[in-house]
Amino acid sequence: MKVTVHDSIAAIPAGEWDALVGNGYPFLSHAFLELAERTGSVSPDAGWSPKHLVLRDGNTLRAAMPLYEKTHSWGEFVFDWAWAQAYQQAGFDYYPKLVSAVPFTPAPSSRMLRADARDDEAATILVEAATELARETGCSSFHVLFPTDDEIPALEQAGLLIRKDCQFHWHNRDYQTFDDFLATFTSAKRKKARRDRRRVAEQGIRFRRLRGSEIDAETWSNVYSLIARTFMLRGSLPYFNQAFFEGLSDRLPDNVLVIIAEQSDRMIAAAVFFESDTTLYGRYWGSDGHYDALHFETCYYQGIDYCIETGKQCFEPGTQGEHKVARGFVPVTTWSAHWLAHPEFASAIERYLDEEGRHIDRYMDTIDAHTPYKSGEDQP
């Protein structure tokens, strides 16, 4: 068996890579990663240098890991800025570091892609290869962001420190209509959700859905302008450039959904979603101004409508945002794993993660007590 390092996803045959991904998961697809690299959204100049790992047994691709050398911590959504500052104050370099993740995408999924999900040996080989690569290239650390629950034991056994966090997800309990979903709410919360939706309708706002293959370059340009405007109001720019969005129509036509909000036949807001066989992922939002309750409607309620209509079992609307709880999203544990070359820093961070994990547990318990569901409604 042999592990090789590839500085471009294009160097790995798409069919072989995608056979490891499965389930229609869009973000680890060869098309998604290749488009991100080809359009320059992911590149050494952007602080993301691909170092993808491939494990072959003879000519057979047995396992792989998406991997990047990073010179910053932007676009990861697992925050280690304080770690970097501590390194700097002690006279050490925190960057570069190695990160196994999907760039700019906080969606949990497998990071140790295996032809056989039970192949623990392949998982161990990949993690050992990544840590060895970190040592050889002078990286301070190796991080695995948003792995699955099933991958945590292997990562912990390999000596990585485990970090806990949470997101808010919606789960479909075989609802037939949106009203079926709202029927699980308490009366007060149900009235609030209906009031949210009514406020949007009263502003004369209507919605259109476009699948990836239906979105032309002009529409993408308009959508991107709205997203960029919203990012700029927060003092930043979109991580993915316009060329990336325009390329989605050709590269992932069946995995992209755009919901457009219109007022007097004019596009005023848009939300970009991705979908797998079972899950809807909310990723980007933009508008040309403030409209009462429009963000909740476009990014959450419209997505829930779509999941109910299409039978999607889960809706992941992105990271953070306690306001999602009142709309029916519940806390779900997310994970990351960390190897640090410096033993003293590793020990200090291990102590910090133990305390942080207890805080996350308390936080999730508190949130669970404030969901909008009736007492006795069993939510995952």
Please report the domains of the chain, with CATH numbers, ordered by start residue: 2-166+332-368 (3.40.630.30), 173-312 (3.40.630.30)
Question: For residue 373, what is the DSSP state?
Answer: B
Alpha carbon distance 238, 267 (integer Å): 19
**Which of the four pLDDT bands, split at 50, 70 and 90, describes residue 321?**
confident
* CB 338, CB 161: distance < 8 Å: yes
Enumerate long-range contacts of 221-226, CB under 8 Å, 24 or more apart: 221/246, 222/267, 222/270, 223/258, 223/260, 223/267, 223/270, 223/272, 223/286, 224/286, 225/286, 226/267, 226/269, 226/270, 226/286, 226/287, 226/288
Residue 320 pLDDT:
78
- 3-state secondary structure (DSSP) of residue 194: helix
Confidence band for 380, pLDDT divided at 50, 70 and 90:
low
Six-digit token string for 160: 């990585």
- Bridge partners for 332 per DSSP: 167
pLDDT at 12: 97
> 314: which residues sit within 8 A by CB, 6+ positions away?
169, 170, 171, 172, 278, 279, 280, 307
CB atoms closer than 10 angstroms to residue 211? 14
Report the alpha-carbon distance of residue 294 to residue 312 in Å, rounded. Answer: 23
Q: Are strands 97-100 and 141-145 parallel, antiparallel or unpaired?
A: parallel
pTM value is 0.96
Residue 379 has pLDDT above 90, yes or no: no
CB contact at 8 A, 17 and 30: yes
Cβ contacts of 368 within 8 Å, gap of 6 or more: 330, 331
Sheet of strand 113-114: strand arrangement: 2-6, 52-57, 60-65, 113-114
Whole-number pLDDT of residue 37: 98
Q: Hunting for tokens 């910053």 — which residue is that?
A: 72
pLDDT at 375: 81
Check residue 22 and give its pLDDT: 80
Q: Is a pLDDT exceeding 90 seen at residue 21?
A: yes
